[in-house]
Amino acid sequence: MDRETRLFAESHFRGLRGRLPGGVCPTPDCVDFIENPDSFSYADFFKGYLLPNVPCVFSSAFTETWGSRRHWVTPSGKPNFDYLLRNYGDVLVPVANCGVREYNSNPKEYMPLREYINYWKEYIHGDYSSPRGCLYLKDWHLCRDSSAEGVFTLPVYFSSDWLNEYWDALGVDDYRFIYMGPTGTWSPFHADIFRSFSWSVNICGRKKWFFFPPGQEEALRDGHGGLPYDVTSPGLLNSRPCPLPLEVTQEAGEMVFVPSGWHHQVHNLEDTISINHNWVNGCNLTNMWQFLQQELCAVQQEVGQWRDAMPDWHHHCQVIMRSCSGINFGEFYHFLKVIAERRLLILAKGMGPEVEGGEDSGPGPQQAAFDVSRIAEVLASVVAHPDFQKVDTCVFSPRPAELLQQLEEGVVATASL
């Protein structure tokens, strides 16, 4: 990140005063297509798409050199089953059944990749039908569970990725996924976990995306407040006036940027393999914090009747929240702490030359200074939250107020950087 981009971004967030842009976001007329990697910088992406939180599609030139685009695909553009079987045949992968609805998702089972590929071959030979239904391999953690050496190169645009940095630091999990499935497999209507961004590259095949800007999903709710499962079902659009989605067709090799809080639905138009990552950084941290507050409110409402009878009701709400949403207020603090300490260390080590992105180079001082200012703003809101004040923070080191003070000192020290 260069200084000019950092100052631009900090002034963007000062203008918002800790809030998210209010109201329903208007639907853009179309989604921009970025043709040429040589004339599209990190700063261009940051200012044009990440900060304004709007989608875009990058041409296949951006992923030309990826190993997976050579090895995972046959010369005719189909999935290279033999290569995948040779390299990953015994790996256990999660598989969803697209034909069975479980709430607003699909039930998943685990099977060796070999079994899934056998199913896929039979499905093709059976004219895209099978007694086993329509199965979609989703959320396979290739990087966590096997080596992904040479499979892809993290594009510089997506290099500020605190979610994966946090999980890598803990050595436990990640949000890096492989999806693969035949024509007709699809992902129901949703917004991404924790209001993260996502990026998605088709290694082979094509996808159709339906996007709704944040807030527009409210008009799609049913009488019980539920969101639709399938926004393409004729029943939905015929029943009442609904906003129309923004439609994008993603071709082989192309890369889609999915902004924070945009609901979407995705259909594979051909036999498709994709790599998708979820990521959070200083640009959508407020969205994540707001999402966590909403999740806690929902839990509190659900178990409100026991509030007076249970002395540790607040603690139980946090426990329930963790099991439903995967994270609670205490863990969110830990996430902020891990990233904050890494950024403060970069700043303390001195203001060396700015290196732009890349998987291994890590953030430079301007990026670190921006990150510190974003964490300081959100942590101030966390510390002031009445439900965070009920969390037992004695065991946290440093204590939240102490970390906030270090960050605020960091903001002052880097003002002239």
Ligand X SMILES: O=C(O)CCC(=O)C(=O)O
**What is the C-alpha separation between 291 and 301, in angstroms, rounded?**
15
SS3 417: coil
Query: According to the binding rule CB under 6 A, does residue 250 interact with ligand X?
Result: no
- Complex with Fe ion: residue 161 or 192, whichever CB lies closer: 192
| Least gap, CB of 275 to ligand X (angstroms) | 9
Does residue 78 contact residue 204 with C-beta atoms inside 8 Å? yes
Q: Considering only the stretches 51-59, 60-68, 92-100, 192-200, report the one whose residues sit in contact with ligand X under the rule CB under 6 A.
A: 192-200
200 binding partner (options ligand X, Fe ion, none; Cβ < 5 to 8 Å by kind): ligand X
Q: Residues in contact with Fe ion, total (CB under 5 A)?
A: 1
CB-nearer residue toward ligand X: 187 or 366: 187
Q: Scan residues 262-291 and list those touching ligand X (CB under 6 A).
A: 264, 266, 274, 276
**How far apart, in whole angstroms, are the C-alpha atoms of residue 239 and residue 274?**
34
Number of C-beta neighbours around residue 23 at 10 A: 8
Q: Which residues are CB-neighbours of 333 under 8 A, at least 6 positions away?
A: 379, 382, 388, 391, 393, 396, 400
**Beta-sheet pairing, 32-34 with 56-58:** parallel
Q: How far is the CB of 276 from ligand X (least distance, A)?
A: 4
Q: Which stretch binds ligand X (CB under 6 A): 90-98, 147-155, 241-249, 258-266?
A: 258-266
CA–CA separation, 341 and 347 (whole Å): 10
Residue number with the smallest Cβ distance to Fe ion:
192
Between 166 and 257, whose beta carbon lies closer to Fe ion? Answer: 257
- The interface region with Fe ion, picked from 1-9, 46-54, 186-194, 267-275 by CB under 5 A, is 186-194
Binds ligand X by CB under 6 A, chosen from 63, 68, 106, 187:
187
Longest Cα–Cα distance of the chain, Å, equals: 66
The reply to whether 192 sits near Fe ion by the rule CB under 5 A is yes
Q: Which stretch binds Fe ion (CB under 5 A): 32-40, 95-103, 187-195, 313-321?
A: 187-195
Query: DSSP string covering 3-27, please?
Result: HHHHHHHHHHHHHHTTPPPPSPPPP
User: How far is 248 from 256, CA to CA, in rounded Å?
Assistant: 9
Least distance CB 260 / Fe ion (angstroms):
11
| Partner whose binding site includes residue 5, from Fe ion, ligand X, none (CB under 5 to 8 Å by kind) | none
Q: Per rule CB under 6 A, is residue 254 in the interface with ligand X? A: no
Q: Give CA–CA dist 63/67, Å, rounded.
A: 9
Q: Strand 272-279 relative to strand 197-204: parallel, antiparallel, unpaired? A: antiparallel
User: Bridge-partner residues for 278, per DSSP?
Assistant: 198
Which one of 68, 198, 284, 318 is in contact with ligand X (CB under 6 A)? 198
Contact set with ligand X (CB under 6 A): 179, 187, 192, 198, 200, 207, 258, 264, 266, 274, 276
Contact set with Fe ion (CB under 5 A): 192
